[in-house]
Amino acid sequence: QVQLEESGGGLVQAGGSLRLSCAVSVRTFSGYALGWFRQAPGKEREFVAAVTWSGRGTNYADSVKGRFTISRDNAKNTVYLQINSLKPDDTAVYYCAASLRATYASATYYDYDYWGQGTQVTVSS
């Protein structure tokens, strides 16, 4: 059984920063690729960032490159998403996800086997 729990969301002004965390409860953390997705009201869930199990490979959506940084701490079974220079368009529920199958930092929704419940990020203008 794999469980993921996000935290760190909140209300922030445009230009501000947040650090999202996702605690992963799993027997062997290092075998999973991990990703962050987001879903804004009325929109489909979209890829944000992903990291390989080693932490050395990362992948970002074009819309967040240079502002978002994904990282993982395998000793703490946790993946992070540092979000800087927030924009109102970043407002969404942010989900972390784990993949047993992806050998790279996949941006594909269907590669991910387990999902958290999400954490709300709201950016005011």
What pLDDT, on a 0 to 100 scale, did the predictor assign at position 32?
Answer: 83
Q: What's the pLDDT tens digit per position in 2-21? A: 899 999 999 999 999 999 99
Instruction: With a cut of 80, say whether residue 28 has pLDDT above it.
Output: no
Q: What is the mean pLDDT of residues 39-47?
A: 96
End-to-end CA, the chain: 40
Q: 107 or 26, which is more confident?
A: 107
| Distance between CA atoms of residues 9 and 118, nearest Å | 9
